[in-house]
A and B are shown apart, each in its own frame.
Chain A
Amino acid sequence: MAERLKATKEMKRIMRRYYAQAKYAHYMGKKVAWITSGGPVEPLIAMNIIPVYPENHGAMLGASKKGGQLSEFAEGLGYSPDVCSYVKDDIASTITKESPIKGGLPQPDMLICSNNICGTVLKWYEIQARNFNVPLFIYDTPFVHTEFTEEAKEYIKEQTKEYILFLEKVMGRKFNYKKMDKVGRYSLQSMKLWKEILDTAAHKPSPMTAFDAFFHLALIVTLRGKKIVLRYYKTLLKELQERNTKNIGAVDNEKYRLLWDNLPIWFRMRWLSDKFANHQAALVADTYTQAWCGVIDYIDENDFLGTMGEAYTRIHLNVGVDQMADTIKDFIRKFDVDGLVMHSNRSCKPYSFGQYDIQNLIKDMDIPVLMIEADMTDDRKFSESQVEARIDAFMEVIKEKKRTK
């Protein structure tokens, strides 16, 4: 196995510092906003508000194998077993303070919720707004079934205006347009850098796997719009490019290349990564981490605030399955993959719902597809021997197919 990426250490340091700052925000006279993973964070940064992501926290809880336990707690409160485990983990953790961060997430002063990732977030944030008794802003993005209409464009522009008014009201001061311009540029640049990072995986052997991407994603999610992201991603990119010049792969003797769809199974990252590596298979790309750089083309760097609405509306989870399938096809070609692994995620309905349709839509690509039933954080929804049997069979089919080609 290739060594761990050197940059990782620095990344951990940045994240630790970010959470420490968020934790002590109130002592420093700063406000904290909880925001959904696909929410427009840049205006918050322009207003010097510290954004905190319960979903990132959910991933941390999942990785530390607390997801099942916290979900169980939330189910005891009356939440259905079918409710998203990020929601259940967050609600439970707010009460129990169970968290890798001492004392749990810092309390919010406001909540920012965008429904571009799902409908569940609306109820989740309403519950937490009542719980913390803080103002909630809903950034409502129309679903893009086939095309982004003029009406949708108008509507989302209004949403952005209302968002700014909301922030001015909560903060009791005027919006800082000058800072917004800078933040917008940084944000766009970091998305572009993130894309370059993910694109290095087109090289054979791939210098990174989707498991690396899942890990390094945290920065573009939580801190985009901050200069530090640019600095860090430049270092990471350089390291990956160096690996490519020296032909160092993340998986020893990479023979097979796979594409991952849906969120990671946070509590089984190592197990899955070893499982695939044992078959000399590298998960070279995934649809999830690509979502943070898939909308670059819709943003005008000279008018970030005016164009971000379209970008936030057209993200991977807010478009129809035809477009999702097209994106997957592009990745299959670009990263030259031998198979597609779809995580049917009990928690994430909008991500998992269309997966069978997508399988049908990409039939002409003629690659085997594996479906793994699990959950992003709830380890009660994972059956090891079943998943193992499916991965082994899937890899044998790929090997057989490649051999007889």
Chain B
Amino acid sequence: MITLGIDIGSLTAKGVLLKDNSILEKHLIQVGYNSKKAGDKLLAELLEKASIDRTEIARIVATGYGRNSIDFADKAVSEIICHGKGIHFLLPDTRTIIDIGGQDSKVIILNAKGTVVNFVMNDKCAAGTGRFLDVMARAMETEIQYFGELSLQSKNPAEISSVCTVFAESEIVSLVAKGENREDITSGIHLSIGRRIYSMVRRVGMVEPVAMSGGVALNIGVIDALEKLLKTEIKTSPLAQYGGALGAALLAVNE
């Protein structure tokens, strides 16, 4: 049986085709302003990539912010459950999952069987979210994929005290004006988002081992900052960005 999981986030749309408990194909595109269109495009490109026909897909589950705009999905499920399922599949012994999304950050606690037992999400402010990193990378004129590596080269991280995305940006502008180097400022930015996530993890109560899901898991700077703050190893998978979509595809099997 083939199932499809679609994760429409605020920035990227991810799709995973699952066949007999293994990943058949995966695909990622930018969402743009219309999540419904993004869903249609993702499906078409994914089918082509996998060389299968739409009729071969038994069931489709959608997740992420745009989940309710995917009219061809059989069911919409929130990201919490999907990331839980996805990461449990990729890294089976994980008990705490950190996911930093475009406009939401979440910390999810699983029991030994991989069932979600608790979670916490960021408050209304965008400070602890992926958007924060995006805005800061732009302020530093660095491509987001090199942002994390740049921060690792720092010897003396700069202090970013503001938790507000807008104010932190102006703080960075003044640090640049003061002549602080890029590596140190970038490291300070990663520690700043790390501290926001750290307090969320503490609020819900960390259970080891800890893993990261979502696109930000590819950012080595965030992983490094979190490992320092949480004093534990943070596991990731090369497929972490597909964690939500994979979970949705897994859920579609049992629906």
Residue numbers of A with Cβ under 8 A of B are 344, 356, 359, 368, 371, 373, 381, 383, 385-386, 389-390, 392-394, 396-397, 400-401, 404
Binds A, one of B15-23, B115-123, B207-215: B115-123
Closest beta carbon of chain A to B122's beta carbon, Å: 9
Closest beta carbon of chain A to B50's beta carbon, Å: 28
Closest beta carbon of chain B to A392's beta carbon, Å: 4
- Residue B118 contacts which of A381, A383, A397 (CB distance < 8 angstroms)? A397
Minimum CB distance partner of A346 in chain B = B124
Closest beta carbon of chain A to B226's beta carbon, Å: 21
Closest beta carbon of chain B to A383's beta carbon, Å: 6
> CA A393 – CA B115 in complex, angstroms?
13
Contacts of B103 in A (CB 8 A): 386
Extra A-B contacts (4), CB below 8 Å, given A389-B65, A397-B118, A401-B115: A368-B118, A373-B123, A397-B81, A400-B81
Cross-chain pairs A/B with CB under 8 angstroms, 30 sampled: A356-B203, A368-B117, A368-B118, A368-B119, A371-B121, A371-B123, A373-B124, A381-B124, A385-B65, A386-B103, A386-B104, A386-B124, A389-B65, A389-B78, A389-B79, A389-B104, A389-B121, A392-B78, A393-B79, A393-B80, A393-B106, A393-B119, A396-B80, A396-B81, A397-B80, A397-B116, A397-B119, A400-B81, A401-B117, A404-B115
Q: Which of B120-178 contact A (CB under 8 A)?
A: 120-121, 123-124
Would A396 and B116 be within 8 Å (CB), given that A385-B65, A389-B78 are in contact?
Answer: yes
Closest beta carbon of chain B to A402's beta carbon, Å: 11
- Residue B113 contacts which of A359, A393, A396, A404 (CB distance < 8 angstroms)? A404
Judge whether B239 is part of the interface by a CB distance below 8 angstroms.
Answer: no
Contacts of B29 in A (CB 8 A): none
Closest beta carbon of chain A to B143's beta carbon, Å: 29
Minimum CB distance partner of A381 in chain B = B124
Minimum CB distance partner of A389 in chain B = B78
Minimum CB distance partner of A373 in chain B = B124
- Residue A396 contacts which of B78, B106, B118, B120 (CB distance < 8 angstroms)? B78
Contacts of B11 in A (CB 8 A): none
Judge whether B77 is part of the interface by a CB distance below 8 angstroms.
Answer: yes
Contacts of A373 in B (CB 8 A): 123-124
Q: Which of B59-90 contact A (CB under 8 A)?
A: 65, 77-81
> CA A42 – CA B117 in complex, angstroms?
47
> CA A371 – CA B81 in complex, angstroms?
17
A-B complex: 7 closest residue pairs judged by Cβ atoms: A393-B80, A393-B78, A392-B78, A373-B124, A396-B81, A397-B116, A404-B115
Residue numbers of B with Cβ under 8 A of A are 65, 77-81, 103-104, 106, 113, 115-121, 123-124, 203
Closest beta carbon of chain A to B214's beta carbon, Å: 14
Closest beta carbon of chain B to A357's beta carbon, Å: 11
Closest beta carbon of chain A to B13's beta carbon, Å: 16
Contacts of B124 in A (CB 8 A): 373, 381, 383, 386
> CA A400 – CA B82 in complex, angstroms?
12
Minimum CB distance partner of A382 in chain B = B124
The winner among A359, A392, A394 for most chain B CB atoms within 10 A is: A392
> CA A397 – CA B117 in complex, angstroms?
6
Contacts of B121 in A (CB 8 A): 371, 389-390, 393
Closest beta carbon of chain B to A99's beta carbon, Å: 29
> CA A304 – CA B103 in complex, angstroms?
54
Closest beta carbon of chain A to B217's beta carbon, Å: 19
> CA A396 – CA B113 in complex, angstroms?
16
Minimum CB distance partner of B66 in chain A = A385
> CA A396 – CA B106 in complex, angstroms?
15
Closest beta carbon of chain B to A91's beta carbon, Å: 25
Closest beta carbon of chain B to A268's beta carbon, Å: 15
> CA A385 – CA B104 in complex, angstroms?
11
> CA A101 – CA B27 in complex, angstroms?
57
Contacts of B104 in A (CB 8 A): 386, 389
Contacts of A368 in B (CB 8 A): 117-119
The winner among A386, A392, A393 for most chain B CB atoms within 10 A is: A393
Closest beta carbon of chain B to A396's beta carbon, Å: 5
Contacts of A401 in B (CB 8 A): 115, 117
Minimum CB distance partner of A404 in chain B = B115
> CA A397 – CA B121 in complex, angstroms?
13
Closest beta carbon of chain A to B21's beta carbon, Å: 20
Contacts of B115 in A (CB 8 A): 400-401, 404
Closest beta carbon of chain B to A51's beta carbon, Å: 36
The winner among B80, B106, B115, B123 for most chain A CB atoms within 10 A is: B80
Contacts of A356 in B (CB 8 A): 203
> CA A127 – CA B120 in complex, angstroms?
40
Contacts of A390 in B (CB 8 A): 121
Contacts of A359 in B (CB 8 A): 203
Closest beta carbon of chain A to B142's beta carbon, Å: 29
Contacts of B123 in A (CB 8 A): 344, 371, 373
Minimum CB distance partner of B111 in chain A = A404
Minimum CB distance partner of A385 in chain B = B65
> CA A381 – CA B125 in complex, angstroms?
11
